[in-house]
């Protein structure tokens, strides 16, 4: 008689649980890949689409890529983005030129000085709503510093902005880096390491740097 705890009865159940666990993991990986693909497509569209971006509409808002909406941040809010590390300096992963420094405010060079103050999406600074979304955003393949070491930072933003709610992605007209959070490693996806980098440091505000996402 086979007992209730017999291995011959437990083995099929264990194998079934293993197969279920493997399918769940595959499903999660597929969902992550799909989300990263959508993020990449949204960034590529906003960076490469130039149709009607040089002329604002009657309401002052430039034509928007699909999925984006314009809004105004009435008070400062926190966002997250991944930057490239070159020596001891932080730069835009995409253009390799825009430098980010703690406490230094950057402003889009297009649109913000106009009467209604709306910059086109492609001249804004891209950031995410959460750290997890930021580190899992895939950059365009032609990004200048794609192979460089990367760092997750926190930025503060206010004023004119664009939001893609389905991706948790923002295009911001003004950003101020406020905190260095963690180094970022690249495997099957970006993951946050456990190493904490540094606390925020107060620095004087200076003139805006060149713009880029």
pLDDT band at 60 (very low <50, low <70, confident <90, very high): low
**Rounded Cα gap, residues 99 and 105, in angstroms:** 11
For 63-84, the pLDDT digits (tens) are 678 899 999 999 999 999 999 9
Q: Looking at 115-124, 155-164, 194-203, which range is the least confident one?
A: 194-203
Per DSSP, 192 falls in state: E
Spatial contact of 197 and 181, defined as CB atoms under 8 Å apart? yes
For residue 60, the number of C-alpha atoms closer than 13 Å in the C-beta half-sphere is 15
Q: What percent of the chain has pLDDT over 70?
A: 61
For 142-189, the pLDDT digits (tens) are 999 999 999 999 999 999 999 999 888 999 999 999 999 998 875 434
Q: Tell me whether strands 99-100 and 174-186 are parallel, antiparallel or unpaired.
A: unpaired
**What pLDDT is attached to residue 156?**
98
Q: What percent of the chain has pLDDT over 90?
A: 41
Closest C-alpha among 81, 166, 179, 92 to residue 131: 81
Question: In terms of pTM, does the model score above 0.75?
Answer: no
């Amino acid at each position: 008689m086979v007992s209730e705890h017999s291995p011959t009865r437990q083995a099929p159940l264990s194998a079934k649980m293993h197969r279920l666990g493997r399918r769940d993991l595959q499903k999660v990986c597929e969902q992550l890949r799909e989300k990263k693909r959508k993020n990449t497509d949204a960034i590529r569209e906003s960076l490469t689409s130039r149709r009607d971006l040089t002329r604002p509409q009657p309401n002052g808002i430039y034509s928007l890529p699909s999925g984006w909406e314009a809004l105004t941040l009435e008070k400062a809010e926190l966002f997250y983005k991944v930057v490239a590390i070159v020596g001891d300096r932080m730069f835009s992963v995409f253009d390799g030129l825009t430098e980010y420094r703690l406490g230094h405010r950057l402003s889009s060079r297009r649109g913000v000085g106009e009467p209604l103050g709306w910059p086109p999406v492609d001249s804004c600074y891209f950031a995410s709503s959460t750290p997890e979304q930021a580190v899992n955003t895939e950059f365009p393949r032609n990004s200048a510093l794609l192979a460089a070491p990367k760092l997750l930072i926190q930025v503060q933003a206010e004023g004119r902005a664009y939001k893609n709610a389905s991706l948790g992605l923002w295009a911001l007209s003004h950003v101020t880096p406020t905190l260095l959070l963690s180094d970022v490693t690249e495997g099957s996806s970006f993951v946050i390491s456990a190493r904490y980098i540094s606390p925020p440091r107060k620095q004087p505000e200076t003139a805006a740097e060149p713009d880029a996402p």
